[in-house]
Structure 1
Amino acid sequence: MTGPARTPPGGGGVCVVGGGLAGIAAAIRLADLGLPVTLLENRPELGGATYSFRRHGLTVDTGQHVFLRCYHAYRDLLERLGTTAGTELQPRFAVPVLLPGRPPHLLARRRLPAPAHLLPALAGYRLLNPAERVAAARACAALRRVDPDASGTDRIAFGAWLAAHGQSGRAVRRLWDLITVAALNVPSAQASLALAARVFRTGLLETADAGDIGRPLVPLTELHGVAARRVLDRLGARVLPRTRVRWIHPEPTGFRIGVDGGEIAADGVVLAVPHQSAAALVPPAAAPDADRWTRLGAAPIVNVHLRYARRVAPLTMAAAVESPAQWIFDRSGPDAGDEQHLVVSLSAADAEIDRPAAELVATQRQALGDLFPAARHTPVSDAFVTREPRATFRQGPGTRAYRPGSGTRLPGLVLAGAWTDTGWPDTMEGAVRSGHEAADILARQLVARPRHHTEAAR
């Protein structure tokens, strides 16, 4: 690769390192403010973890991403990108819950104000006995009183809180983990109470329509990356894909960013990469304790793709309990004909991440056969597995102590990413919010920054 020519530090505008959702949101925000923006992305396309690839005539997403109606920052970004029409948002929360050997149970909200909108769903949830349903309703009421931002809440395990509020092991598996595992990428026993409370309060308990589920109808690269490139081009931003950042050095009047083949100058930097990469790139003067970020760890997600010769499941999306399957999505394209492309998304996939693909496919074919009788004898024309070993950070108790804020000790350098201290889980909403927060802080700092900011930082 031929890198950018060396340019003197200072006067180089703003450099955003990382082209995921956080970096995209930050770059657009800064460009809207009239700042010259250069966006550096290691991959060929923007979009970060939300990208797609081609296989046997299919465009396949690496992960099955969904969003909620309460993801206001993310949905606003889709509007700005002009891709809202490439998604589908439920008119009201409704999820078929599948238990092997039982007919599907539709878990759906009613058109009532919160929290009454969920009471009929809990009262009629056939996968729990009457006593478990009453206990679940009481736990929901208690969870509405848990403050996600209160000191100490993050150090408590959600599973321990559920046990203290009368939730049986079966209720956790068949109800609470339906949401917790998908939203936090860890089971309730390993989840932070603060993050779980954020999910349940914001998404399900405080506003009736907040938990309505949205999903992409087009490939993620088209939904985010390609559209973001168009918007940034219109705003006059410079986008440099296939550009790996090697180091960031502060200078008296700005920063130098080392890339393969050269250097780039910038007045300010948004570091919008995963926490492991950020810890290696951030200058020590900006974050002397950056090694703490690596304690956030990583939690994997595995997706098993099965292309059936005929339709076997009358659904677009469903959740499974007491099954090797978890969430199931129909990703059949408009040209699929009689075929059906089902994807089983396995969160908290520590046990699956290193299993051979053939074993994962066999397990999920059996699981789907137990859930959908038509799948038992229907040929599969293609089967494959996608793996995200570092899909999210590990969102367990004590997590917040390792999540930095957007600002650093070095004015002019800020952090963005769903792993920063947004108060939200590691979600697309958290990523976009972090990008906006980082951009706003940086813009204020560039106006107020002393001329020799490295000396001031000392």
Structure 2
Amino acid sequence: SLRQRLAVLRAGLALRRLDPEDRALDDMTFGEWLTARGQDTTAIETFWDLIVLPTVNAAAADASLKLAAKVFVTGLLTEAGAADIGWARVPLSALHGDAARRALEAAGGEVRSRVPVKAVRPGGEGLEVQTDEQVIEADSVVVAVPHDAVAALLPSGTVAAQDRLVELGTSPIVNVHLVYDRPVTDLDFFATVGSDAQYVFDRTAGAGLDDGRQCLAVSLSAADSYIGMASGDLVSHFTAELARLLPAATGATVTESIVTRENSATFLGLPGTDSLRAGAESGLPGVYLAGAWTDTGWPATMEGAVRSGTGAGRLAARFASRSAGGEAPGSAR
């Protein structure tokens, strides 16, 4: 209704006046703030949650106001191009993992995958990284692991509130991939209103399909209601839901399907979590922290993760260069 649209506009103007760096905003939920500004359940579910769910990985009713403010103020309200949307046309493993490996190896680095690290600790000449098979000496180390794995890797007291990092919690993401025997939409991606499908992406190219079939991925954030469902039930439910949303899908057949689940995809951006997010520098010289859970100011998004990794990498290279007596960072161990 016009009344609801005007109320959303007024709330947006009020949101624009918030400072995302104000730590006091982490004392309340985004939902509480919205309700106090006249946003009813319909407005929250059809507009605000549409953006908060995939960015904070929590509904407005649960999300920290500070994190929601960062998304809206920085990501939508600062300038015209701030809300531009980009999406990957290839699998994220190719976009991130494969590209990172190539860059590291081109710089003279060695990439060892499937080598679990047991501990990072001070050593005789710097730092030691303990694996199942050996101890690797290092000048500097970037610890880029989930927040709930940090305490077991580092000596006690290395990170502020180290024993409380588990209190950041986790939030799941589920993706339901459906391969249709024919194209059912010409949209690259779309968001849904009045549906639990949330966001749907065309993954045909990424799936390597060139035989006339189409692959759609239903991406579900804050997926607590779906993480424990049987794959067959999820496929049946969202096949029916997409048939309701896409007329062309009604007569199409799903020839293949796959469900992927990330039980601990991100930290849970509730009020009170801001004080638990650690900075890049740890209490152990040469050890730096990276990850979307660190104190980036952003929720658990790619934007935050990239900023964190870049910052930690620069600090580690600088420290290693100093430790090596001014040698180029590329020569650091």
Alignment TM-score > 0.5, same fold = yes
Q: Is the 8 A contact 1:304 1:344 kept in 2?
A: yes
2:224 to 322, 337, 350: 350
TM-score by length of 1: 0.68
For residue 130 of structure 1, what is the aligned residue in structure 2?
2
For residue 21 of structure 2, what is the aligned residue in structure 1?
149
For residue 173 of structure 1, what is the aligned residue in structure 2?
45
Where do 5+ consecutive residues of structure 1 fail to align? 1-128, 452-458
- How far is 1:422 from its partner? 0.6
Amino acid at match of 1:152: A
Amino acid at match of 2:79: T
State the Cα deviation string for residues 305-343 of structure 1 (Å, max 9, x = none).
111112222311111122121101111127434322111
Aligned residue runs from structure 1 range 200-279, under 5 A? 200-251=72-123, 253-279=125-151
Partner Cα distance (1:220, 1:448) in 2 = 34
For residue 28 of structure 1, what is the aligned residue in structure 2?
none
Partner Cα distance (2:12, 2:32) in 1 = 15
State the Cα deviation string for residues 29-84 of structure 1 (Å, max 9, x = none).
xxxxxxxxxxxxxxxxxxxxxxxxxxxxxxxxxxxxxxxxxxxxxxxxxxxxxxxx
Q: Is the 8 A contact 1:299 1:389 kept in 2?
A: yes
300-309 or 372-381, which moves further after superposition?
A: 372-381
For residue 436 of structure 1, what is the aligned residue in structure 2?
310
State the Cα deviation string for residues 127-164 of structure 1 (Å, max 9, x = none).
xx100111111111111111111131112100001111
Partner Cα distance (1:367, 1:395) in 2 = 28
Q: Is the 8 A contact 1:306 1:342 kept in 2?
A: yes
For residue 330 of structure 2, what is the aligned residue in structure 1?
none
Partner Cα distance (1:137, 1:378) in 2 = 40
Partner Cα distance (2:102, 2:140) in 1 = 23
State the Cα deviation string for residues 255-285 of structure 1 (Å, max 9, x = none).
1111121110112211111111122101114
Amino acid at match of 2:245: L
Where do 5+ consecutive residues of structure 2 fail to align? 326-333
216-225 or 361-370, which moves further after superposition?
A: 216-225
**Which one has the bigger strand percentage?**
1
- Partner secondary structure for residue 217 of structure 2: strand
For residue 281 of structure 2, what is the aligned residue in structure 1?
407
- Partner secondary structure for residue 174 of structure 2: strand
Q: Is the 8 A contact 2:23 2:274 kept in 1?
A: no
Root mean square deviation of aligned Cα: 1.7
Aligned residue runs from structure 1 range 54-203, under 5 A? 129-203=1-75
For residue 51 of structure 1, what is the aligned residue in structure 2?
none
For residue 367 of structure 1, what is the aligned residue in structure 2?
241
For residue 18 of structure 1, what is the aligned residue in structure 2?
none
For residue 331 of structure 2, what is the aligned residue in structure 1?
none
**Which one has the bigger helix percentage?**
2
Q: Is the 8 A contact 2:172 2:224 kept in 1?
A: yes
Between the two structures, name the one with larger relative contact order (CA 8 Å, sep ≥ 6).
1
Partner Cα distance (2:154, 2:133) in 1 = 20
Identity of aligned residues (%): 47
Aligned residue runs from structure 1 range 290-309, under 5 A? 290-309=162-181
Partner Cα distance (1:140, 1:157) in 2 = 16
Residue 390 (str. 1) matches residue 277 (str. 2): no
Amino acid at match of 1:259: T
State the Cα deviation string for residues 408-433 of structure 1 (Å, max 9, x = none).
11221111111000101111121111
